[in-house]
Amino acid sequence: MKQLSNRINSLPTSATLAMAAKARELKEQGKDIISLSLGEPDFNTPEFIKDAAIQAVNDNYNSYSPVNGYLDLRESICKKFKRDNNLSYNPNQIVVSTGAKQSIANVAQVLLNPGDEVLLPAPYWVSYSAISVLSEASFVEIPSSIDTDFKITPEQLEAAITPKSKLIFFNSPNNPSGTIYSEEEYRALAKVLEKHPNIYVVSDEIYEHINYGAGNFSFAAIESMYDRTITVNGVAKAFAMTGWRIGYIGAPEWIAKACNKLQGQVTSGANCIAQRATITALDAPVTKIGYMVDEFHKRRDIVLDLLGKIKGFKLNIPEGAFYVFPDISYFFGKTIKGNKIENASDFSMFLLEQANIATVTGEAFGAPDCIRMSYAASEEQLREAIDRIKKALA
């Protein structure tokens, strides 16, 4: 009998990757799909980083690296943390992994026990909940809405905490909402956490460089939080290196050590060529990737302008990342071209079937009134996509 484990049977499929796969499949069948589903820059990796990878191949970087990453890469990461985030880490506090997703999974595996609760300010990235459950913890959503710019309040945080709370995920700039927490807002949340010393914080800052002026404040820069915060980052989004799979953490040394031990049994060190190229990426001045950020900024404004003209799309102004997360609850209960829209999944499916536009339902992010649209696509595709949506809804 084909009997999979309970663990895998209870794991939901990643909604972002599932939608991307569906869009790919439909394209292969000849359908003219525009995919706004996956959060992935549409730029090529910058030449200077590619050159570094080629050099690494020619320099015969073909052996296993240390499990937690090459020492000189970990030193570069420490310099980056100091330069961009005013965070002091030493190389023993750094673990390099196969993408920030593995970094997060490592942290969950080494900190969570069955019965622990993970606090998820919603909307949250789809995999936080799944990774928590995989670590036999349960998760508690702390809801927000477009009316509060998708931010939670200190009062809400306080109310969600129980004796079982072990971990909280912060993600700013946020996937899917693009929201950025200010230093002041983070300090107010930290005040609550100060009263609960058993709670650890994952601060996922993978979108830090894709921000349109507000700047990024690192949670670990709050002195009282440094000893219990794990700062997660990587090169995928800022340097258009999604497929290179390099993520990393800066963490209290005992947590980094545990992640190192876990990784040593599961994957060993991350890809050595990609690690070498990451040194070049992180050592470069941040201005080198400014052209991509400027382009995302421009596209954000176009998308907000065009979507804002469609009745029923309620928008906030995302300050970072490359997603818009409109509240489309206006359409719930309506029938459009014979399709009854009961929820965000129905709406997302309607857009796929009637407009050939792939989006991701907000239900996957703990925000059932919304859908996520990535604007990491060309301006031409974005204009065409929104035009099709408008026509489908007309």
Site residues for ligand GLU per CB under 6 A = 14, 16-17, 38-39, 101, 125-127, 175
CB of 323 to ligand GLU, least distance (A): 8
**What residue number has its CB nearest to ligand GLU?**
39
- Of 46 and 234, nearer to ligand GLU (C-beta) is 234
Tell me the two tokens of residue 152.
Answer: 């939670």
CB 271 within 8 A of CB 98: yes
Tokens representing residue 297 in the block? 């900024």
CB of 187 to ligand GLU, least distance (A): 27
Nearest 5°: CA angle at 21, between 20 and 27? 90
Compute the distance between CA of residue 208 and CA of residue 304 in angstroms, rounded to an integer: 21
As measured in angstroms, the least distance from the Cβ of 309 to ligand GLU is 26
Nearer to ligand GLU, 17 or 310 (CB): 17
| Residue 56 or 236 having the CB closest to ligand GLU | 236
Task: Determine the distance from the C-alpha atom of residue 315 to the mean position of all C-alpha atoms in its chain, rounded to a whole number.
Answer: 20
Q: Which is nearer to ligand GLU, 21 or 336 (CB)?
A: 21
Integer Cα distance of 394 and 390 in angstroms: 6
Six-digit token string for 78: 């420490």
CB of 310 to ligand GLU, least distance (A): 23
Output the smallest distance, CB 38 to ligand GLU, in A. Answer: 5
For ligand GLU, the closer of residues 38 and 232 by Cβ is 38
Tell me how far, at minimum, the Cβ of 205 lies from ligand GLU, in Å: 13
Side chain identity, residue 185: E
Of residues 15 and 167, the one with the C-beta less far from ligand GLU: 15
Q: Is the backbone of residue 268 left (phi > 0), alpha (psi -120 to 50) or beta?
A: left
**For residue 363, which of 149, 168, 126 has the smallest C-alpha distance?**
126
Smallest gap, in angstroms, from Cβ of residue 127 to ligand GLU?
Answer: 6
Taking the complex as a whole, the smallest distance from the CB of residue 318 to ligand GLU amounts, in Å, to 14
When the beta carbons of 38 and 389 are compared against ligand GLU, the nearer one is 38
Decide whether 125 or 186 has the Cβ nearer to ligand GLU: 125
